[in-house]
Structure 1
Amino acid sequence: MKRPIWSSLILLAGLSVLTASKATAADTIYQYDSNSPLLGDVSGYTKTELTLKRGATNVKIPANEIERVRWDGEPPQLNIARNQEQNGNFAAALEEYKKAEGSASPNLKKSLQYMIARATASSAKANPAQLDNGIKMLDDFVKANADHFSYYPAMKLLGESYLAKKDYAAANSAFGTVERSPWKDYQMYAKNMKARVLLAQGNTKGALAAFETVAKMDGKTPGELASKHAAQLGSAICLEKEGKPQDAIKVLDEIIKNVSSTQSSLLAEVYLKKGDCYQALGESKEALIAYLHVDVLFPSDPAVHAEALYHLSTLWGKVQNKERGAEARAVLQQQYPDSEWAQKAAKG
């Protein structure tokens, strides 16, 4: 039987779409400092760079410049899951990541292993019971993928997780590995985190000296400048601990003035510490406003958000608004029931 001409045209159009789709299918590399993703075929990678084949050209992309990779053929819901993770909704992100593992390509599967470990470890910042699980996943990933472009980002998060667990020797070891990376921004980051270890151990003077060293280093790239600002934040924390909250506030205000609003994790902690400083000065209203910045503008960092909510739950009562304090306590208990701050609020 002769096929109607319109039916043949529809079939041809469908085949054309499929062919075009197949021809344009590619891996997509998103970089921190670029609004234009790079499309091509990933032909290889090491822990320090990724090679992207674009036509007849091979482009080498340093691993510290890679924000994320969208692999050819990955399910579209992974983009939503990445956004969920970025917004602090780790449970929803993990559900999608684990769902995608079964049918993932080898490259995507390795990336998913890292993403699952990253989301688990990030979630553990407000749920200490998950720390060991997150550490194991990250440790398994770096041991099995020593040449993966996510190796150093995984080591950074592994060090932070050990620091949260108060395993200072293991934290310093992980940060030492990051410090031996070939990039200045990662080296500056590692020096900052080693200073954080000193701070956690009670060596405030040693930590302050280490932070000030990083703050004085030249910084040109966004990553290097971010590390300089993080060092300034560390210095402010040390000043507050040394009983100089007013000096600390000056440093924190300078950071707020110079930092982009996109650096949400840094700014969240800046406002948290500003609240601490105002509390130390007995200025409840100013402290309340600082903690509110975290709750309203930067709630995606679970550990910082949980701490800010705890302080809000107590400070609202001091400014004659106990209902708002009860609301903050309820959000704390609902979103971060296993955090130290929820437990502290329950006792108070």
Structure 2
Amino acid sequence: MRLFRSFLAVLAVAGPAAADEVALVPGSTVSAPGGLIRGKVERETPELVRIEGRDVPLDQVAGVDYDGAGVSYSQARLQENNGDLARAADLYQKAAGESTNPLVVQDSRFRRAAMLARVAQADPSKRDAAVEALRGITAELSGSRHVGPALMLLARLQLDADEFDAAEATLEELSKLPWARDRAAVTKSRVRVEQGQSEQAIRDLDALIGRLPEGGAARLQATLARAEALADLSRFEEAERAVRAVIDAAEPEDSGTLAPAYNTLGDCLRAAGKPRDALFAYLNTDILYPSQPEEHARALAAIAQLWRVLNQTERAGQVVDRLRQEYPGSPYLPSASGSAP
């Protein structure tokens, strides 16, 4: 009996057995305590992750953590979180060569390509290496969960380089995945805007919004993209009304909706020639929603530009320093440091 009690005490200290984890997106249609499913990841495909016999669609997956992924993998995640993307890419490559878990190998390879893509957004001279790595993922890991995210990153790099035909082809490939079809359609609308076809973009988005359920992430993205297209056509009041409607309908703690909405509002107000109003819109993201790193970095860059427009160069420099410190590998750094468009 004494030995049995000692065994129970060891278990109590050690805690639950280690396991893989699938984190669900906020408001997921998949039910799980705390938004986490723990167990063994049994299978991954371009459309789902299977864990403990449950199939979780990829659009409901916020992230996957593997038990025993290895030291190099853990170090890579740390460097990624610290913003040292080049070092993270090297460590992910090392992790891919060390792990005996094929899912960890696939994840490491994708994460390396993703780091290279983020580096290339800030430094176009690194673009070829990033494109090559992403194409390697789409070709060699076409049966993995990473093919869709790799196609999205590839399309983004192509758009940044004004390679519109290539971006359309990539998005067409992405749209073959059911969970990514609506995201691909929204991005295609942005291609239309870049090509000077904003009227067509609005028609496409109206049709898309009409069939999407209210409150969903895809509908939010489509609504904000529509506002951007309206602003491109100088229909500023209509664009502002559309974005403010999104803001008014959102819960105050819904940072996933409000951060991009306030940033889009700032974009529309800046395009309308209202730099002070735009500044306050971006400040909402900076002050209230720094938990959204992509949108927070985007807001900081815009704030720096607008302080420069308002002849507050010292304040602009302070914001650039913050951006550099908090997001050292951000693709927004070059625009924040230069002149406002």
User: TM-score w.r.t. structure 1 length?
Assistant: 0.77
Deviation at 1:306, TM superposition (A): 6.0
Secondary structure, counterpart of 2:42 in structure 1: strand
Query: 1:226 aligns to what?
Result: 217
Deviation at 1:78, TM superposition (A): 5.4
Alpha carbons of structure 1 residues 28 and 280: separation in structure 2 relative to 1, 3 Å: closer
Alignment of 1:15-30 (within 5 A): 24-30=17-23
Alpha carbons of structure 1 residues 333 and 77: separation in structure 2 relative to 1, 3 Å: closer
Alpha carbons of structure 1 residues 80 and 274: separation in structure 2 relative to 1, 3 Å: farther
Number of residues paired by the alignment? 324
Matched, 1:59 2:40: no
Query: 2:233 aligns to what?
Result: 242
Matched, 1:71 2:66: yes
Alpha carbons of structure 1 residues 131 and 14: separation in structure 2 relative to 1, 3 Å: farther
How far, CA to CA, are the matches of 1:198 and 1:98 in structure 2?
Answer: 36
Matched, 1:100 2:95: yes
Matched, 1:161 2:141: no
Query: 1:312 aligns to what?
Result: 306
Deviations, residues 211-268 of structure 1 (Å, cap 9, x unaligned) = 2222211316x6xx1111111111111111111212211111112223465554x644
Q: Paired residue for 2:194, among 193, 200, 219?
A: 200
How far, CA to CA, are the matches of 2:267 and 2:309 in structure 1?
Answer: 12
Worse-matched range after superposition: 71-80 or 58-67: 71-80
How far, CA to CA, are the matches of 1:236 and 1:262 in structure 2?
Answer: 20
Q: Structure 1, unaligned stretches of length 5 or more?
A: 1-5
Query: 1:3 aligns to what?
Result: none
Alignment of 1:1-348 (within 5 A): 24-32=17-25, 33=28, 34=32, 35-52=34-51, 54=52, 58-75=53-70, 82=77, 85=80, 90=85, 93-94=88-89, 97-98=92-93, 100-104=95-99, 105-183=101-179, 186-219=180-213, 225-259=216-250, 261-262=253-254, 264=256, 267-296=258-287, 297-298=289-290, 300-301=293-294, 304-305=298-299, 307-317=301-311, 321-331=312-322, 335=328, 339-342=333-336, 344-345=338-339
How far, CA to CA, are the matches of 1:268 and 1:88 in structure 2?
Answer: 21
Secondary structure, counterpart of 2:178 in structure 1: coil
Alpha carbons of structure 1 residues 277 and 151: separation in structure 2 relative to 1, 3 Å: closer
Secondary structure, counterpart of 1:202 in structure 2: coil
CA contact (8 A) 2:158 2:167 kept: yes
Q: Structure 2, unaligned stretches of length 5 or more?
A: none
Deviations, residues 74-131 of structure 1 (Å, cap 9, x unaligned) = 2488578658757866456546534534432322111111122223323433333333
Deviations, residues 146-202 of structure 1 (Å, cap 9, x unaligned) = 11122222222222222222211221112112212233xx21111111111111111
Secondary structure, counterpart of 1:24 in structure 2: coil
Secondary structure, counterpart of 2:143 in structure 1: coil
How far, CA to CA, are the matches of 1:91 and 1:117 in structure 2?
Answer: 11
How far, CA to CA, are the matches of 1:311 and 1:343 in structure 2?
Answer: 8
CA contact (8 A) 2:307 2:316 kept: yes
AA matched with 1:50: V
Alpha carbons of structure 1 residues 218 and 102: separation in structure 2 relative to 1, 3 Å: closer
Alpha carbons of structure 1 residues 306 and 194: separation in structure 2 relative to 1, 3 Å: same
Secondary structure, counterpart of 1:146 in structure 2: coil
CA RMSD of aligned residues (A): 3.7
Secondary structure, counterpart of 1:51 in structure 2: strand
How many percent of aligned residue pairs carry the same amino acid?
24
How far, CA to CA, are the matches of 1:277 and 1:131 in structure 2?
Answer: 29
Deviation at 1:144, TM superposition (A): 0.5
